[in-house]
Structure 1
Amino acid sequence: MADELMRLQLADEEGVFAVRQAGRHVAAALHCPHHDQVRVATALSELGRELYSSYGRVTVAFQLDRNPEGNPGLVIELVFDARPDVVIPGEGVTAAARLMDLVEEDGAGGLSLVRTRKNLPTGTRITDGELDELRLRLRQMHPVSALEELRTQNTELIESLEESQHRREELQELNAELEKTNQGVMALYAELSEELEKTNQGVVALYAELDEKTDQLREAVETKNRFWAAISHELRTPINGIVGLARLLLDPQNGSLDEEQKQQVSLVVDTGVALLGMVDELLDMAKAEQGRLEPRLGLTDTHSMLGQLTALLVPIAKSKSLTLTVDAADAPSVLVTDEVMLTRVLRNLLGNALKFTDAGEVRLTVRPAPDHVVFVVSDTGRGIAPADHERVFEEFYQVPGVSAAGTGLGLPYARRLVTLLGGDLSLESALGAGTTVTVRLPTDQPLADLGLRHVLVVHGEDASRRALRGLVEGGAGRVSEAPDAATALNLAASDAPDLVLLGSGEDLTALPPDAMVVAVTEGTVSGQPPPRADATLSRDHIDPVMLAETVRQVRERRTQGDR
């Protein structure tokens, strides 16, 4: 709903000036900026002149639209009697449409109406009191003469011309600045293009050089591997000869030696064995780099392996007055891993710790963790500076200032083997605070993918049952043990097994027909399998991977037989 502010009658030529003046005053009173005041006045002047010339009397109504949901606006309606024989040129309406925010025509009811609108500045609010005061001021407004209005119009025109001139000058300055900028951009573009072209040429040359260096590096690696392999093979025979001869000297049947001689010959044997170990490590490093070194997974008796390792290293610890401690109380009794690789890893890590520790203790801690087992080798040695933590894993690198003998292959070799075993090796150390090396190996069970619910292990010896249990533990929902056939049949009657590992000659023909039976024999597999057995494996060569594959084949045969 719009509030009317004032109403004028345009009945003569002078009325056009009065309407123009009224439009400017109303726009000023409603806080319109000066340029909008001029637009409103000019639009009314053009419309009033054209409508009066065509139709005569025109009523002009000024209204305030206080739209609560949007911006308020000044609405001006021009009402006149339309005649069908008269057609206005429409120039005034077109001019007003360029100056106002809205211009619309309405010819309903026999009268014609032209409605215009100029939006007020955002945030403008007119109260009822201000509206009444505005109406009073507008009623007191006196019309001016045509000469006075012309003077005002000329003033506005001069101001517009000056503003236009000022803007033209600004535009010329901007164009000049833009021209300079364009020239600078073009020069920069040309310079960048030239530099890019040179860079591209350099990149192409660099790639060519990199390709050449890659080929050279590949040849160097292949040469190094061939060298390692050749040297290793060449060294193995004489070293074995030296070790063999030294051991013959230690044999009492070949003559007695005094204590000093025995000690010297024993040192020769120990040195020869150490050299053989280094030769084996060189061969393994070469195989690993060529992708030919693969782990052979099998059952590893953890405590037996650690016992042998301790027996080998204790003399070295005693010779340096060091304490070698192995904490394996919580270690898994059986691991599925490559025992040779794991032994070499731990021997390298413990040997390094003993070599670089002058006083105190070297400790090996073995503990289980979810989905893996952790081996931690810690010492009270001199430690390693942070800058060398990664460099010690580079082949042949030795920490500066360390006088202990070595080739710099121990840690790189250990990390390669741990990676092949599916684990990771990390090192923590600080100067004067010792070193801690942590090895994490997975404890994945190959049988886990077969979905076995119950596995029954049958064997008359406790140690053999434990070994067979280690093959399947973690790969089945439940593992039970039986020392004889009667116990096995009772267990099977209460909970039918999916798989039976039969380690001795018990008669288990009464087992449920759905149970798969794998016989595990001593020595080489030969002759007919035991009664009720679906497959036979040798205990000397069995490992979890082989057992899982055997169970999978038995299942496939049974499935094809059912068809």
Structure 2
Amino acid sequence: MSTASSPGAVPLVSLSLTTEQDVFVLRRSGKTAARSLGVEPQDQIRLATALSELGRDLIGSCELTVSCTLVGRTRPRLRFALVWKDGPGPGAEALRAASRLVALEHLPVERSLVIEQPLGVDAPAPALVERTRQALRTHKGATAVEDARAQTVDLIAALEESRAQREELRRLNAELEETNRGVMALYSELSEELEETNRGVVALYAELEEKSRQLREASEAKTRFWANVSHELRTPVNAVVGLARMLLEFDAERLDEEQHRQVSLIAASGATLLALVDELLDVAKAESGRLEPNWGPVDLRALLGQLTGVLRGYARHGDAELVVAEPELTVVSDEVMLTRVLRNLLSNALKFTESGTVRLDVATEGGAGDEFVVFTVTDTGVGIPEAEQQQIFEEFYQVRGPHQRGRSGTGLGLPYARRLTELLGGTLALTSAPGQGTEVTVRLPVRSSPSGAGGEVAGGPLLAVLVTADDDDAFRAAVRPLLEQLAERVVEVDRGGRTCAVVREERPDAVLLDLQMPDLDGYAVLAELAADPELRGVPVVVVTSARWESLDHGRLRHARTVLDKASLSPAQLTAVFTEHVLRGDRAERGDGAERGESRTQGAIRKDPRS
């Protein structure tokens, strides 16, 4: 605020204050101007009272004048400027009283007081301004009695408005209290419903837990039953088969033709029963998690040749031709499990193929580091309806129909084959159509190079130099013969603190590192190797007797894999070093440390062979 006239200010009225009657006129002028320009009634009274209080306090000042103007366009305000030429100016009490009612600015040096009242609306129209100016010019002097009466009227109006506001506030408070009671009632109701729902959920969860426990117990009981019955059956069945074979081999001359035929039937039935018992026992082991692959190199040509010889003598109802591929391929797998998978698939295809062809093809797909061997068994048999193609992988389920006549079976072949395939890290898929035959595809990860390629399992040592870091003399002595099959030279280190120096000197193809060493543990050795640009590309295979869940996996990121000391075998070490060390690692180390580092920063995992 300033007493100087603002640009664009519109003058309304000017007054000279010399007597009490002039103060009365000032009060009426302030209220009239505020009412005419749309100010709220209470603000009108506040403005008039402040002008009256200050004007009365300034009476007697030399050349005291009051000017009323309209200022501001975007935020219009009604301004009253009181100016005097000489005199003490307003008292402190009058200033405090006026400042509680309106916004004012006291400029003692300029001998002026400025009071402004916001209008709260846009700039008034010129016609309204002119009417306000005319109303202000018609004011005449009033007596003290008239002024007192006017102030009383104003006070009564203010009190009435205040009472109305109190009543409105009381009514709003009552409504708010009623609303709060409703909200609290609703909250209480919702809380009770939520608590009831929670009790139901807890009860349902407890019931589900109980059902899950019962199902687990039933499954465990079934598995124990299968295992126990299989074991109990195997002994007498072995005796039956053995005695029948002895009769056929050593007492054949004492048997007539009919007796020989009957004993042959006993031997054949006993052999079939023994195979079923073995299959039941393996299914029970697989379900209980006790069936583990025994990894080792598998020559697929030899395996499929033996399997073909067994299946060519398979008793079947039709004349289907069996065609089996002869791949020159060696993989790391469990030979027994793989044989059982393929035998189940081929025998099942031969059983339900009256004529035509049962074929086994072998192919590889994918690239280095992500290669698979694919076995595909196709037949021209009866086929399987689409609606039952998932059910046949349920234990003991068999597709009903005329094709079942004369064909024995338990319904375990396909479920057993799929379970073994999954244990070997692969997948088994089936497609079929009635009357058009069936195709079963088994995809297994390739864990070694094709026969004749570099790094062949059976082709001599895989590594030039291998460093073994372990403080256990007995373990080093036990594992050394295994490692000498993998490397041309094995360098042993009995302290973790010397490992990095030996690795820097020997530049080995791989390091076999124990985690638990007294002077510098395996974690610290891994960190030193990873921090050295020249050594970080050397592949590290960790061996430990600690439990997998107790390891600090974040500090094992530089290791290729982690092996259990208790289960190390030549086949397992061969598979691990073939998969995690040889495949592309030498080329990477030849390209520099940076590529070696990028290879070793992947997520550490426990090798499935351990």
Q: How high is the TM-score relative to the length of structure 1?
A: 0.60
Judge conservation of contact 1:54–1:86 (CA < 8 Å) in 2.
no
Partner of 1:93: 99
1:341 aligns with 2:337: yes
Output one character per residue of 1:113-137: Cα deviation in whole Å (capped at 9) or x when no partner. 556575968xx7x7xxx97677656
Partner of 1:307: 305
1:24-423 matched pairs, under 5 angstroms: 24-26=35-37, 37=40, 41=44, 44-55=47-58, 58-64=66-72, 66=74, 73-80=75-82, 83=89, 85-88=91-94, 90-96=96-102, 103=103, 105=105, 107=107, 109-111=109-111, 113=113, 118=118, 139=133, 169=171, 172-173=174-175, 175-190=177-192, 192-193=194-195, 196-197=198-199, 200=202, 207=209, 211=213, 214-215=216-217, 217-242=219-244, 272-314=270-312, 319-322=317-320, 324-326=322-324, 333-356=329-352, 361-370=357-366, 371=370, 372-379=372-379, 381-386=382-387, 389=390, 391-399=391-399, 403=404, 405-423=408-426
Judge conservation of contact 2:304–2:325 (CA < 8 Å) in 1.
no
Question: SS of 1:88's equivalent?
Answer: helix
Output one character per residue of 1:98-120: Cα deviation in whole Å (capped at 9) or x when no partner. xxxxx574647444555657596
Output one character per residue of 1:306-326: Cα deviation in whole Å (capped at 9) or x when no partner. 333334445659743445454
Task: Classify 1:17/1:274 alpha carbon distance in 2 versus 1 (closer, same or farther; 3 Å).
Answer: farther
Task: Classify 1:373/1:19 alpha carbon distance in 2 versus 1 (closer, same or farther; 3 Å).
Answer: farther
Judge conservation of contact 1:426–1:439 (CA < 8 Å) in 2.
yes
Partner of 1:545: 573
Task: Classify 1:364/1:77 alpha carbon distance in 2 versus 1 (closer, same or farther; 3 Å).
Answer: farther
Give the number of aligned pairs: 446
Output one character per residue of 1:118-176: Cα deviation in whole Å (capped at 9) or x when no partner. 5968xx7x7xxx97677656555656879999999999998897787567556544543
Q: For 1:359 and 1:39, locate their aligned partners in 2 and report how far apart those are by CA, in whole Å.
A: 109
Task: Classify 1:211/1:321 alpha carbon distance in 2 versus 1 (closer, same or farther; 3 Å).
Answer: closer
Amino acid at match of 1:63: V
Once structures 1 and 2 are overlaid, which stretch shifts more, 132-141 or 297-306? 132-141
Aligned-residue offset at 1:2: 6.8
Judge conservation of contact 2:89–2:111 (CA < 8 Å) in 1.
no
Q: For 1:45 and 1:356, locate their aligned partners in 2 and report how far apart those are by CA, in whole Å.
A: 112
Question: SS of 1:411's equivalent?
Answer: helix
Partner of 2:561: none
Amino acid at match of 2:89: R
Q: For 1:240 and 1:356, locate their aligned partners in 2 and report how far apart those are by CA, in whole Å.
A: 30
Question: SS of 2:94's equivalent?
Answer: coil
Q: For 2:49 and 2:250, locate their aligned partners in 1 and report how far apart those are by CA, in whole Å.
A: 129
List runs of 5+ in structure 1 lacking aligned partners.
29-35, 67-72, 97-102, 449-462, 478-497, 502-512, 517-540, 553-563
Aligned-residue offset at 1:335: 1.2
Q: For 1:148 and 1:387, locate their aligned partners in 2 and report how far apart those are by CA, in whole Å.
A: 102
Amino acid at match of 1:343: T
Output one character per residue of 1:487-516: Cα deviation in whole Å (capped at 9) or x when no partner. xxxxxxxxxxx9669xxxxxxxxxxx9999
Q: For 1:143 and 1:153, locate their aligned partners in 2 and report how far apart those are by CA, in whole Å.
A: 25
Q: For 2:170 and 2:131, locate their aligned partners in 1 and report how far apart those are by CA, in whole Å.
A: 39
Output one character per residue of 1:189-211: Cα deviation in whole Å (capped at 9) or x when no partner. 34554564566466557656755
Output one character per residue of 1:277-297: Cα deviation in whole Å (capped at 9) or x when no partner. 323222222333443322222
Aligned-residue offset at 1:15: 3.2
Once structures 1 and 2 are overlaid, which stretch shifts more, 169-178 or 363-372? 169-178
Q: For 1:114 and 1:139, locate their aligned partners in 2 and report how far apart those are by CA, in whole Å.
A: 20
Alignment partner of 1:19 out of 18, 25, 30: 30
Amino acid at match of 1:374: V
Judge conservation of contact 1:332–1:368 (CA < 8 Å) in 2.
no
Judge conservation of contact 2:220–2:288 (CA < 8 Å) in 1.
no
Once structures 1 and 2 are overlaid, which stretch shifts more, 331-340 or 75-84? 75-84
Q: For 1:160 and 1:433, locate their aligned partners in 2 and report how far apart those are by CA, in whole Å.
A: 97
Judge conservation of contact 1:384–1:431 (CA < 8 Å) in 2.
yes
Identity of aligned residues (%): 30
Amino acid at match of 2:99: V
Judge conservation of contact 2:223–2:284 (CA < 8 Å) in 1.
no
Aligned-residue offset at 1:179: 2.4
Judge conservation of contact 1:8–1:19 (CA < 8 Å) in 2.
no
Q: For 1:500 and 1:197, locate their aligned partners in 2 and report how far apart those are by CA, in whole Å.
A: 69
Structure 1 vs Structure 2 CA RMSD: 5.3
Q: For 2:90 and 2:394, locate their aligned partners in 1 and report how far apart those are by CA, in whole Å.
A: 103
List runs of 5+ in structure 2 lacking aligned partners.
1-5, 18-22, 60-64, 140-146, 465-485, 490-505, 510-568, 581-610
Q: For 1:151 and 1:359, locate their aligned partners in 2 and report how far apart those are by CA, in whole Å.
A: 120
Aligned-residue offset at 1:344: 0.7
Judge conservation of contact 1:64–1:74 (CA < 8 Å) in 2.
yes
Aligned-residue offset at 1:234: 3.8
Q: For 1:467 and 1:254, locate their aligned partners in 2 and report how far apart those are by CA, in whole Å.
A: 60
Partner of 1:534: none
Judge conservation of contact 1:322–1:360 (CA < 8 Å) in 2.
yes
Q: For 1:160 and 1:400, locate their aligned partners in 2 and report how far apart those are by CA, in whole Å.
A: 94
Task: Classify 1:358/1:326 alpha carbon distance in 2 versus 1 (closer, same or farther; 3 Å).
Answer: same
Output one character per residue of 1:211-231: Cα deviation in whole Å (capped at 9) or x when no partner. 566456544533443233322
Q: How high is the TM-score relative to the length of structure 2?
A: 0.56
Judge conservation of contact 1:500–1:515 (CA < 8 Å) in 2.
no
Task: Classify 1:188/1:159 alpha carbon distance in 2 versus 1 (closer, same or farther; 3 Å).
Answer: same
Question: SS of 1:293's equivalent?
Answer: coil
Partner of 2:512: none
Output one character per residue of 1:345-384: Cα deviation in whole Å (capped at 9) or x when no partner. 1121233334455666544332212322222334454324
Q: For 2:45 and 2:436, locate their aligned partners in 1 and report how far apart those are by CA, in whole Å.
A: 92
